[in-house]
Amino acid sequence: METATTQIVPAAIGINQSSKTNQFYEDVVDGLQASPKRLNSKYFYDANGDKLFQDLMNCEEYYPTNCELEIFSEKTAEICKAIIGDGDEFELIELGAGDATKSACLLRYLLEQQVDFTYLPIDISENVIAYLNVTLPVTLPGIRITGLNGEYFEMLEKAATISNRRKVVLFLGSNIGNMTVNEAESFCRQLRNHLSAGDMLLVGFDLKKNPKTILAAYNDKEGITRQFNLNLLERINRELKGDFDVTQFDHYPMYDPETGACKSYLVSLTDQKVKIDNRETIHFIKDEIIYMEISQKFTVAETDQIAINASFKPVNRFFDNKKWFIDVIWVAE
């Protein structure tokens, strides 16, 4: 999962570009042949999607980014004190680093305190990693950075071969909310299996709150979230030679305050056929939905339960002033 990126350098065409395209094609076709139809929200983030997400983070209704930024900028010293612990040197690994705006607060403070650490951002986007490798040494002089481009768990294994120092893993931005609760729990269990006892995880969770506040964040007045969802159909047209008529789909967000699941759907406005690469034809009936994304919201007790079920011990909690968002620190047991 990527977070938004600013001024990312143009993508270099990697040698594995065609296998990435094949995987995208297979996931799209499998998803659109399933019942109900679905698309994986990890594909939202092409260059247009990154830009739209950036716009979303600046829109009035989308609160999670500002809440977490407030935590990182106002509680920098306390967070750093917690991760420094007894003072052992460590590797600071960030999953889905994006443009590292929030982590930069920590990085700057750790450098000022002359703490011995290396920053290892992991991101599926090679643009993001190229950008961070080039820009962070300029904005944060003295930083030791090794960017890792690839899937989280593969790159964590690679990180373990580079160093055997203690690990502090950041997973920010409520990216964990883009999984169902069960998926989040098994993700954390897998993560724990890639760590050693005493390693730390710092995770950002968006909390349950007034349902209208949550729904508004995924149904902004300007229609950026709508465009963000439709962009995936446009991406399929661009990259997989699809022929979606995006004017024939509407965006439908919903929030269930009982379960904390906020879900986005696209709804077909008519009976229609869509071709993908002249190889597959997908039939839609009027009002049929495509399930696009989950943005799960949690209670504090649920975050503790996930930690315990995944063999972590919850040790610190940092809230924003409104208590809408929480960053937690867990220690691997």
Which stretches of the chain bind ligand AVI, using CB under 6 A? Answer: 3, 56, 64, 173-175, 177-178, 218, 225, 228, 293, 295
Of residues 173 and 260, the one with the C-beta less far from ligand AVI: 173
Least gap, CB of 61 to ligand AVI (angstroms): 10
> What three-state secondary structure class fits 102?
helix
DSSP state of 246: G
Token pair listed for 249: 């789909």
Q: Which residue type sits at 177?
A: G
DSSP assignment of 120-172:
EEEES-HHHHHHHHHHHHHHSTT--B--EES-HHHHHHHHHHH--SEEEEEE-
Least gap, CB of 110 to ligand AVI (angstroms): 25
Least gap, CB of 160 to ligand AVI (angstroms): 26
DSSP assignment of 13-43:
--TTHHHHHHHHHHHHHHHHHSSSEE--GGG
Distance, in Å, from the CA atom of 223 to the CA atom of 79, rounded to the nearest integer, reads 35
Of residues 124 and 143, the one with the C-beta less far from ligand AVI: 124
Least gap, CB of 2 to ligand AVI (angstroms): 8
Least gap, CB of 117 to ligand AVI (angstroms): 26
Of residues 91 and 206, the one with the C-beta less far from ligand AVI: 206
Rounded to an integer, what is the distance from CA 331 to the centroid of its chain? 21
> What three-state secondary structure class fits 44?
helix
Least gap, CB of 222 to ligand AVI (angstroms): 12
Whole-number CA gyration radius for the chain: 20
Distance, in Å, from the CA atom of 272 to the CA atom of 282, rounded to the nearest integer, reads 8
Tokens 């305190």, located at residue: 113
**Which is it for the CA torsion 299, 304, 308, 311, positive or negative?**
positive
Of residues 175 and 268, the one with the C-beta less far from ligand AVI: 175
Of residues 125 and 178, the one with the C-beta less far from ligand AVI: 178
Of residues 65 and 268, the one with the C-beta less far from ligand AVI: 65
